[in-house]
Structure formats: structure tokens, C-alpha cells
Structure 1
Amino acid sequence: MKTIQLFAAFMGIVLLASCYAKKQDKTITKEKDSYTLSDTMAHMIKIDAVQLCDVNEELELSGEVSYDENKVVKIYPRSSGQVLQSPFSLGDKVEAGQVLAVIKSADVAGNYADVSSAEADIAIAKRQMENGEALYKNGIASEREYEVAKEDYRKALAERQKINAQIQINGGSGATASGTYTLTAPTSGYIVEKKVNGGDFIRPDMGDNLFTISDLKDVWVWANVYEADIAKVREGTDVQVKTLAYPDKIYPGKIDKISQVLDPNNKALKVRIRLDNADMMLKPQMFATVVVTNPLNEQALCVSTKALIQQNGKTYVVVYNNDHDMKIAEVNVLKTVGDKTYLNSGLAPGQKVITQNEIFIFQQLAGD
């Protein structure tokens, strides 16, 4: 008796599972004979035509936004010293001529001390020359003595000129007798690199730039291509660039340079994309995704990816003939590339499919 009861319970479970499966699969096996769109619903759908398209392959690369290194100005220190002040911060906009840093330099102070000595030497040499000229004209001194006095005067003048040139080299036009000099922006733009702050010391052996200025109207995106994908990228190929900051905005560009060596750190090849940045939305160091599209010299039926409906492991679309004639069609997907899906079968060129509110129409036709 107990065995019979267990068998009956088992058969009941099987029957329930069978009914549930049939209910879940009714969108596939049973479709309403007709469904008419209301006037309101007719304005809430979008329709797209099935086309025969060239099949493309997409390659997605990770990258980073950088400034255009051909359109930057790097500012170096003129001489060693201590930074007294640096009013601008990284990312600030500066105008040509604005002071980026004030630096106190022992070299500049020493040059001005040398100028004072040179001025005293000139005054002495000038008096000696004038005395020598008077003595020569009165026949007291020889011509050679007079010429020596003139030569000493010329040397004193040359020495002062040399020291003034050193001041221009070590401190520039903004140098002062107190030993300070200024670094100014040679062009307008944005500070994309800053390596010093007030109080920092600039060593004599420091050969690095202190500031970098770029107008950022054009930027570069450097993307990584791993070894298996190197054959899929070529100079001149169109790409689309997306950023985390603006996920809905697509920047069109082209690959304009491919490195010839792999990066030793990540074993990837670097490719460069130049982008117009007139709206100034792209900032250096932003992460970017670069989508490279390559044609495969093949053709297949294609529809908008928005038209696809997934149900019970299968893919469907709603075929639209008119507001009174719509039906569900199962399709076999070849591949999806972005907003376009390629099909192996299920539709014919020229057929129309619904791409907005298609799920609602699907449910109505399926009898849900």
C-alpha cells in the first residue's frame, strides 16, 4: 500500500512539472491568431527593417586619455634654488605671461654681485684709459701704454656683458638683485604636469621639467593590444572611444600610430588614437574603452539588437506587417556586434521588426 501511495505521489509531481513546462513554453507553441495595435500603442513602438549587412568583427581595447605631446610646452628651471611660491595647481588654466613659480637662487644672487664688481672694474679701467689718453697726447706716455689702457677698458665692458648674459640664462628678465627669478607661462593652456610646490628645493643636477602646459583641444588615447589581437589593428582603422565618465557619449577616431615594440610591463602593444576635444570633456589619465571594427568580407542578415527577445533559451523577434498583422518569429543568432545582431536564419531581407515595446507586443501575441 505504501509503495502505491509513493508511486501516485511521484506521478502527481511529474504531471505538475509537465503542466508547468507547457505553461512556460506557450509563448513558443501557441500564438494568438491576431492582435491589433491601439492608436496609443502604435505611437509607442519603433520599427526597423531586416537588411543584408557586411559582417564586422569588434575588438575592445582598454586605454587611457593623455595630452597631445606635440602640442605641449615643458617649463624647466633656469638654475638651482628654493621655490618661494607656486600659485597654480595641477589642472589650472593659465594665460601666457602668468607667473608659475618664484625661485630664490644663489647663482642669480652671485651674478648680481659679480655685476657690482664688474661696474667697479669698468669705472677704474675708464679712468686709467682717460689718464693714459691725456698723458699720451702730452707726450708723457707712450702709445703702447695708451692702447693697453683702452684694451683693459674693453675687457671690463666685455666682462660686464658676459655677467649680464649669465643673469639672463640663470634668471631671465624676471631676475632681481636679491637673487630671485620667476618662471612664467610661455603660452596659454592647462597645467597637465606640476612637479614642485612652495618650499621645494631644486638641485643643481635636477634636469626634469617643473611644469607642462597643454591647450587640451586635442588629446591622445593610448590603448593596449595584446599579442593575440595584433593582427586585428591597423593604422587608419576607424574606432569608437568611450569613457567611464561619459558612458553614453561616443568619440569617433582613427588609429594614427602603432608602436613597434611591446610594453615590457604588460606585454601589450600600444596604439594611439587622436581625438578632437573642443568641448574639453576629456581629461588626461581618464580610463577609456576603444572599440575597433574590422570587416570580415562576409554578409549576413542583420537587425537591431533592441529587437531581440530571449525566452526559454531561444531568441525571438516580433515581425511587423501592419497594425493588424504581427507575428512572433524565432531567429538563429550568428553574432552580436554593438547595436547590430547578425542572423543565420529566421527572417528575410525587407521584413520589419519592432524595436521598442517589443516585449509587450510579444506577450500579447503569445497570449500571456
Structure 2
Amino acid sequence: MKKKQILLIIFLAVAVIPILFTACTKKAETKVTQEKVQTYTCPMHPQIVKNGPGTCPICSMDLVPFEKNNAQDFLILGASQRALANLNTMKVGENEFSHSSRLNGRLVTNPEQTVYVSSRVAGRIEVLYVKETGVPIRKGEPLYKIYSEQLSSLQQEYLIATAQVSSFPEDKRFYQMKNAARQKLLLYGQSEAQLSDLVKKQKVSPYVTYFAPNSGIIAELSVTEGQYVAEGSSIMKLEDYDRLWVEADVYPSDADKIRTGQKVQVIVSGYEDQPQTMTVDFINPALQTSKQIMQLRGTISNPNNQWQAGLQAIVLLPFSGQKYILALPVDAVIRDGNGSHVWVEIEKGKYQPRMVSLGAETFDEVEITGGLKNGETVVVSGAYLLYSEFILKKGKNPMSGMKM
């Protein structure tokens, strides 16, 4: 009997020892496996995942640890963390929303108010009364004096014709010759006052002064003193900045909102407190080949020439009636290549990312057309910090796997 008990004890010992060894081995393997779960990622590039510490091959930042199998889709922050991140929330509700589209534009010179001054006759520039660009000129002020033997001959011809008319007042042919000589001088840029002065003094001069045909700013000088010019040569360019064109880029999706004669609002960069009302004068019917956009154009007044051509401007169109919709501040919405999302406070200190679809947008607000319900609490300040914290702790984009 004792012999049987001893054999039973030996048999149990032989059976239990392998089982205990196997359990210890599995425990050790589990521990090793858990240790291998610890991986590292880059805070700025979560697609970089390594099994050990190091630096990011993209931005060279130090990698930080995260749990790769962390499947929680929310963040929990304490009171001190919320205060440090300056998190502010608001309940989503229907508010009045005035919709207007923003178009990027610029101020350009109005070519209808640009005057090119060219030489009426061949000759030599004796005097330039304006020697630099940017100088304002009023209509009637002298621009340049030219030496021209051709004008001297025409003046002599006119004086002879005038004398013949005085001597033979009944002969109509002399009147015709006088009018022809007078018309030549007028076509060459002589004024009525200059012709009257020529008849009064009875003295020709090869030096003739030309005056500004319009007021404006000297935008371009093409000659210098002493330079010979041919008939029709460019002398200078005058630009009037009292009225400027506004050209704005229009995407094809906004083309149906615009029509010629429509009133729009223009905000010049740096002068946001002085919005201007503009009428759309022209809409280019063709798309620009390189940009695939259209252009609209209108004119605004430029009091005291306070604006310069080249300034950036924003064109707002069209103004629609106010409506009640779900809207959030623009900064509450985070956008990237995967879409747009906000952070919803599901409990006090517990925040979850939520993908949303957007509608109309203004300077301050954006319409939420899907993804949120009336009464939900959304983070409106500090959303980008939550976004970074999620990537840092979870090692993935908050919107990965989400579907609208």
C-alpha cells in the first residue's frame, strides 16, 4: 500500500513540474511582449513609428513614447491642464448668419484715366519741366519745350496767310489758306492762345512749349533733355489715381452668384474701417489658362489718392438674407488633408474629436452643415492644442478612420 502511495506522489510530481514550467515561460513571454509594445513616434509626424527612442528622420525632433494599442478616441484633461491650455467651450445653437463669399482682389490703375504724351513733331527736347516720376501735374502746366524747324515753317506760313487775308479781305482763297495753315498748327498741338500770341507778336519761334492735356501723376519718363525725338515718339505717361480699378479672382463655383451691375463690398488691406461699395462693371467670360479662374472688375473712388495701385483687397459677394443656422467661430474648426473636425466636450474634462461638414463662411464664423447637434458643447479656444496632444499621446490623426 505504501508502495502505491509513493508511486502516485512521484507520478503527480512528474506531471505538475512541466505545467508550472510552461506557465512561467508564458508569463515571461507575455512580459517580454508587453515590453515590446512600447513604441515611439514623432509629435509632428505621427506616421513615424519606431520600437526605440531616437530622432525623427523628417524634422529631427526627439521621438516620444506612446501606446500603439491605445484605442481610446478621447482625451481627459484635469482642471490645471485645461487652465494651462486656455480651453474655452460654447454650446452649439442656431444663430443669425449673414453669408457672403470672399474673393481675393487687388487695386490696379484705371487705363481709361491714363494719358500717353507723345511728340507731335520731330525735334530736340530743349527743356523738361518735369524730370522725375511720381510728380503730380495739373492740366495746363508746361511739360516740355521742343526745338522744331518744321513748326517754325508752319508758323511762318500762318503769318503770311493772315497778312494776305488782311490785305485782300474779299478773296475767299486767302481765307481758305489761312484756315488750312491754322488747322495744321492746331493738329501739331498748338493752342488757340499760342496762335493768338503768334499773330500779335508777328514773330516765329522754333522753340515751342507743350502743356499737360490732363491732370495726373508722372508715371513714366521716356526722354531726357537734349534728346532728339521723332514725330510720334513717347515723351511721358500720366496716370490719374482719383479712381482705381478693382480686379478680383472668381472661382467657377462662385460664377453664378455674380452679375454685371451688382453691388459688392470692397475692403482694402490696411483700411478695414473704410469699406467701399462697388458696382461690377465687367466679368471676364473666359478662364485664365494658368489659374483656371475668372476675373471681375469694378471702379472705386480714391479720395486724396490714399490708395496705391497694387494694394490687396477683399471683395465680398453676394450679400444674402440672414438665416438661422448652426455656426461656430472659425478657430474652433481644425482643417487638414483628411477633412475638418471639432472637439466636443462629452463630459467635464473629457474631449472627443468629431468630423464635421462645413457650409458658408465669413471672416469670423463658419456654417456647420453636418456632424453636430443643437446643444452640444464644443471647444472654441485651444482646439489646436487638443489636436497636438492627441497626436502626441495616441500617435495617430484624430480623424483617422472617421467617416462623415
**TM-score, normalising length from structure 2?**
0.56
CA RMSD of superposed structures (Å): 5.4
Give the 3-state SS of the residue equivalent to 2:39 in structure 1. helix
Offset from partner CA, 1:209-240 (integer Å, 9 cap, x none): 953331x2331123354666533432325355
Which one of the candidate residues 198, 201, 210 is aligned to 2:229? 201
How many Å apart are 1:75 and its aligned residue? 5.5
Task: Quote the residue 1:17 is aligned against.
Answer: 39
Query: For residue 74 of structure 1, what is the amino acid of its counterpart?
Result: V
Greater relative CO (CA pairs within 8 A, separation 6+): 1
Is the CA contact (8 Å cut-off) linking 2:281 and 2:298 kept in structure 1? yes
Pair 1:34–1:346, CA change in 2 (3 A) = farther
Which one of the candidate residues 167, 170, 173 is aligned to 1:151? 170
1:301 matched to 2:326: yes
Alignment of 1:136-285 (within 5 A): 151=170, 159-160=177-178, 163-164=181-182, 166-170=184-188, 171-172=190-191, 173=193, 177-192=204-219, 194=220, 196-198=222-224, 199=227, 201-203=229-231, 211-214=237-240, 216-225=241-250, 230-235=255-260, 236=262, 238=264, 240=266, 253-259=277-283, 261-262=285-286, 269-278=294-303, 280-284=305-309
How many Å apart are 1:251 and its aligned residue? 5.6
Alignment of 1:42-121 (within 5 A): 50-52=92-94, 54=97, 56=99, 58=101, 60=103, 64-69=106-111, 72=113, 74=115, 76-77=117-118, 79-82=120-123, 84=125, 85-86=127-128, 87-118=130-161, 121=164
Question: What number of residue pairs does the alignment pair up?
Answer: 322
**Bigger Rg over Cα:** 2
Query: For residue 151 of structure 1, what is the amino acid of its counterpart?
Result: E
Pair 1:196–1:103, CA change in 2 (3 A) = farther
**TM-score, normalising length from structure 1?**
0.60
Which ranges in structure 1 are unaligned for 5 or more consecutive residues?
Answer: 126-148, 320-324
Partners of 1:200 and 1:50 in 2: CA distance: 75
Query: For residue 256 of structure 1, what is the amino acid of its counterpart?
Result: V
Query: For residue 220 of structure 1, what is the amino acid of its counterpart?
Result: W
Is the CA contact (8 Å cut-off) linking 2:75 and 2:350 kept in structure 1? no
> Percent identity between the aligned chains?
12
